[in-house]
Chain A
């Protein structure tokens, strides 16, 4: 399983763009990169997934460079409600179902 490294915490202000980068140096060829969001007292929630280049949905964008050893989750114009823990999870190709969470990045959005 690919080991991940993310910042433990980040602070931001409302209206700013937030970029969270995750390193996954030993990602396997057939692994995807998935990001989950967890609010306090709730279970994690799927945000976005990609394999390479850029993916965008209504919530976020995901940037993956050509070597795929890192990925960056971009949250445009954050609000207070984006305060949560964000997890980067490479894998899923042939891991047989294990969704393994690292420590995640605790994002705090201030007014």
Chain B
């Protein structure tokens, strides 16, 4: 398996523009997680899905952020409009179980810079 695939690897955009980050989980994994990492706040869980259904979005910072999972092999995280404070590395992770924090596989991340 190619692992969790995220695209793009790097994104530079201007403030106010819409940004869409993409994630392909590992086949067979039915949990998908979106995280954001910054120097100041570390790794933050934004939202996670089970069987394509959002379970917990309490970490989504504000209404400018939205996430979807239209099918088992694809998820998007959208920011509209983007702001400089959204600059961070966004990670997607997937797992076949949530028990015992085991077997979570992370992608390589998307480094977002909003200027």
Chain A proximity of B55: nearest CB distance (Å): 7
Name, among A42, A97, A98, A102, the residue most crowded by chain B CB atoms within 10 Å (CB to CB).
A97
Tell me the residues in window 65-104 of chain A with beta carbons closer than 8 Å to chain B beta carbons: 87, 89, 91-93, 95-104
Stretch at the interface among B13-21, B61-69, B70-78, B95-103: B95-103
- Chain B 80-100: CB-based contact to A (< 8 A → 1; otherwise 0): 000000000001010000111
Is B108's CB under 8 angstroms from A42's CB? yes
Q: In the bound complex, what is the Cα–Cα distance between A96 and B42 (angstroms)?
A: 21
**Which residues of chain B are within 8 angstroms of A43 by Cβ–Cβ distance?**
4, 91, 93, 106-109
Give the interface SS of chain A, mostly helix, strand, loop or mixed: loop
Is B106's CB under 8 angstroms from A45's CB? yes
Instruction: Tell whether A105 is near chain B: CB-to-CB under 8 Å.
Output: no
Instruction: Tell whether A57 is near chain B: CB-to-CB under 8 Å.
Output: no
Is A46's CB under 8 angstroms from B102's CB? yes
Chain A proximity of B107: nearest CB distance (Å): 6
**Which residues of chain B are within 8 angstroms of A89 by Cβ–Cβ distance?**
101
4 A-B pairs with least C-beta separation? A43-B106, A97-B98, A92-B101, A101-B43
A sample of 26 inter-chain contacts (CB < 8 A) reads A32-B100, A32-B101, A34-B101, A42-B108, A43-B93, A43-B107, A44-B43, A44-B91, A44-B104, A45-B106, A46-B102, A46-B104, A46-B105, A49-B100, A49-B101, A49-B102, A87-B43, A93-B99, A96-B55, A96-B56, A97-B31, A98-B45, A98-B48, A99-B101, A101-B42, A104-B42
